[in-house]
Amino acid sequence: MADKIKLLLAAVVLGGAVAAFYYFADLMLFVRVVVLLVAVGVAVAIAAQTAVGADALAFLRSALMEVRKVVWPTRKETMQTTLVILAMVTVMGLLMWGFDAFLAMMVRTLTG
């Protein structure tokens, strides 16, 4: 029950911040954005105190650990892969254009 109350409070804080962002449209945009970001931070902090929030934070931490383990391709590998993809797209485009032209010719022949 306490988790539901905390999540509801986080939703109210977030909804109030969005409403205030539009209600105080005459204030500087920078001020409104800063207040909105602070409110989002407060809402996330409140939501993180729940079981669902703790699970979400644990998932994000493990996802960041996995991203650090990724072996990213070098610039050379990226360029080679991009060129292969561009070549295949070009070849497939030409094949599809030729097949379409053939079908159009067949339809013209059949329909007179």
Instruction: Give the model's pLDDT for residue 41.
Output: 95
The per-residue pLDDT for range 57-111, each reduced to its tens digit, is: 999 999 999 999 999 999 999 999 999 999 999 999 999 999 999 999 999 999 9
The per-residue pLDDT for range 1-41, each reduced to its tens digit, is: 888 999 999 999 999 999 999 999 898 999 999 999 999 99
What DSSP state is assigned to residue 18? H
What DSSP state is assigned to residue 72? P
Question: Tokens standing for 92?
Answer: 């497939």
- pTM to 2 decimal places: 0.57
* Residue 85 amino acid letter: I
CA-to-CA distance for 3 and 49, rounded, in angstroms?
8
Residue 32 and residue 75 in contact, taking contact as beta carbons nearer than 8 Å? no
Task: List, in order, residues 6 or more apart from 105 with CB less than 8 Å away.
Answer: none
CA-to-CA distance for 54 and 99, rounded, in angstroms?
55
